[in-house]
Structure 1
Amino acid sequence: MPAASAAVTTPAELGGIAALGPEATTLLQRLDGIFESWGRQVDAVPMIMPPLLPVARLAALDYYRNFPHQAMVVAPLQLSGVDRSHEPSDTGFLPEALEPASLGLPSAACYGIYLHLAGQQLDAPMRVTVLGRCFRREDHYEDLRRLLGFHMREVVAIGPRDYVDDHLRQFTSRVRDFATRLDLPLQRVAATDPFYDRGGSRAVLAQLSPVKHEFVYEDLAIASTNIHRNFFGERCEITLAETGGPVFTSCVAFGLERWVSALTRRFGGWDEAHAALNAVEGITGALSGR
């Protein structure tokens, strides 16, 4: 039996679908262990979010208005009717063979958290960390750097404004320090992320005070920090007992396959990437949480 390759990517025409071999899997899991440990160090609650989310609930968050270019939806086969063979055409199942698409594939791991907390009043601010399978339709795909389906580790803060602002300051500093010690040159750049109605006052505010910053290696963002203000608190009716008002939220996100690609491109191979992480752990302690 031939040895499994490090990362097997399907032909480009299949659109960003990749299988990770043992080397890529081991490095991805190690990186996720590091980022997850950062969440544990700030008492983030570990959770697992659903792999699918209701389209109607995502629509209530303006998701399909703001991110139609990324959206992926799921529909079951239509079983009623006469002489249905339930066989796809060469390009897939046609619309008439499907029931309405009532479930969506999330493009970020944190959506499930806000929907899970909808309608609740929190006794105190909280942090949550999740590892999600995320999906984004893009105009092109490129090995592990840009995929249709990928893993995202997030650490989310939920509470008053100063709490979620401090969360981003802490993690901005942590990512910068980690990258410096790792000798991985990252640029922190302001980015656009239309959580808000593009034509409203929130959009103007987002332009004056950026809501998203990305950490970019070469030409690709591998991590980001995001402040959503009280958008999800209002839309999901999540309140804080201390104030009685909607919570503010912020998150830090790590695209794990992108980190795998960045480390192997930077250091030249799997052993070299692990050696670089070993050196960082020797300086900063057990960052992997092991």
Structure 2
Amino acid sequence: MNKVSDGLAILDSDHTELLDTLDSVFTEWALKAGAKKISPPPVYRVAQLEKFDVYDNFPHLALVAGPLRPADESRPDAHRFHPGKLADAHLGLPTATCFGAYLFFEGMRVPSSALVTLANHCFRNEEYFDGLRRLLSFRMREIVALGTYEHTRNVIEDFKARIEAFLGELDLDFTSEAATDPFFDREGGRALLQRLQEVKREFTVDGLAIASVNTHRNFFGERCGITVENGSSHAFTSCVAFGLERWVSVLVDRYGTAAKAAEVARSAALNTGSD
């Protein structure tokens, strides 16, 4: 049985096996598409996340960390540390996995069709928590494209089709809906462009978004100084995101047990050429 409390989950062996099975499927999609694996840290400097307007766009979700002040009495009070015992919080906990890809390529020139995959623990200070559906700390696998606009759009279209086929094989009743993305200025050209052109599509099961495809144009390329080889323009980016515990939740709801859901997931991967 899982241990879930206050937005934090410890998965039992069956649920862990299901999560690992799903992550393997998504990772295999990325590798077959030519992606390289990279490994991000669980936290970043606030200065790094600040580049992406995280604290402007997601202040309600953001979590930060800092060291305790050296003192004779450094134990917590009522199971928490009060502000006076904390030094400045200079570490930021990521709300999304893809940040690691942009920071990895910061200041670099990339091929016109770069593709990487990475997974990380993400953290969101949600208004409420709900089992594995909505957690404070959760795992997210992402596939990130960098390069030309055409490349980033092609990756999005490819993985949209993969996700829809996989959901169909899993016999999950899903919707695919356009959504908005806060990684654009609220005013000006980018805001207008977002209204005219779809930049985010979510795949939802039982009212829960379990995957999304996102295009950010050259926002992250500009913020991180990432340029495309054989040219001076900033790289365009797009990403495909999978909230792993959310997938676990909807599959267990559908099939009753994590063991049965893992069996179905493996079969669906074979039937869609994902294995």
TM range (shorter): over 0.9
Does the Cα contact within 8 Å between 2:166 and 2:269 map onto a contact in 1?
no
The one-letter code matched in structure 1 to 2:150 is D
Question: What runs of 5+ residues in structure 2 fail to find an aligned partner?
Answer: none
Which residue of the other structure, out of 201, 206, 227, is the alignment partner of 1:218?
206
Distance 2:141 2:8 in 1: 19
Shift of 1:266: 1.2
SS in 1 for 2:151: helix
Q: Which residue of 1 aligns with 2:7?
A: 16
- Relative to structure 1, the CA distance from residue 204 to residue 281 in structure 2 (aligned partners, 3 Å threshold; closer, same or farther) is closer
Which residue of the other structure, out of 32, 46, 50, is the alignment partner of 1:59?
50
Distance 1:200 1:97 in 2: 42
- Correspondence 1:50 to 2:41: yes
Does the Cα contact within 8 Å between 1:127 and 1:157 map onto a contact in 2?
yes
Q: Which residue of 2 aligns with 1:25?
A: 16
Shift of 1:274: 2.5
- Relative to structure 1, the CA distance from residue 84 to residue 258 in structure 2 (aligned partners, 3 Å threshold; closer, same or farther) is same
Per-residue CA shift, 1:17-65, capped at 9, x if unaligned? 1111111101000000000000000110101001111101211221110
SS in 2 for 1:235: helix
Q: How many residues align?
A: 275
- Relative to structure 1, the CA distance from residue 57 to residue 279 in structure 2 (aligned partners, 3 Å threshold; closer, same or farther) is closer
Distance 1:51 1:282 in 2: 32
Shift of 1:123: 4.0
Q: Which residue of 2 aligns with 1:84?
A: 72
Give runs of ≥4 in structure 1 deviating > 3 Å.
Answer: none
- Give the TM-score taking structure 2 as reference length: 0.96
Shift of 1:228: 0.5
The one-letter code matched in structure 2 to 1:101 is A
- After superposition, the CA RMSD in angstroms is 1.3
- Give the TM-score taking structure 1 as reference length: 0.91
The one-letter code matched in structure 2 to 1:171 is F
What does 1:1-290 correspond to in 2, within 5 Å? Answer: 5=1, 7-10=2-5, 15-79=6-70, 84-90=72-78, 92-285=80-273, 287-288=274-275
The one-letter code matched in structure 2 to 1:161 is Y
Q: Indicate the larger mover: 89-98 or 68-77.
A: 89-98
Does the Cα contact within 8 Å between 2:141 and 2:244 map onto a contact in 1?
yes
Distance 1:74 1:253 in 2: 25
Does the Cα contact within 8 Å between 1:66 and 1:196 map onto a contact in 2?
no
Distance 2:261 2:165 in 1: 17
The one-letter code matched in structure 2 to 1:246 is H
Residue identity (%)? 43
Shift of 1:196: 1.3
SS in 1 for 2:141: strand
The one-letter code matched in structure 1 to 2:120 is G
SS in 2 for 1:275: helix
Distance 2:229 2:269 in 1: 40
The one-letter code matched in structure 1 to 2:3 is V
Distance 1:46 1:75 in 2: 29
Question: What runs of 5+ residues in structure 1 fail to find an aligned partner?
Answer: none
Per-residue CA shift, 1:112-166, capped at 9, x if unaligned? 1111211111244210100111001100000100000000000000000000000
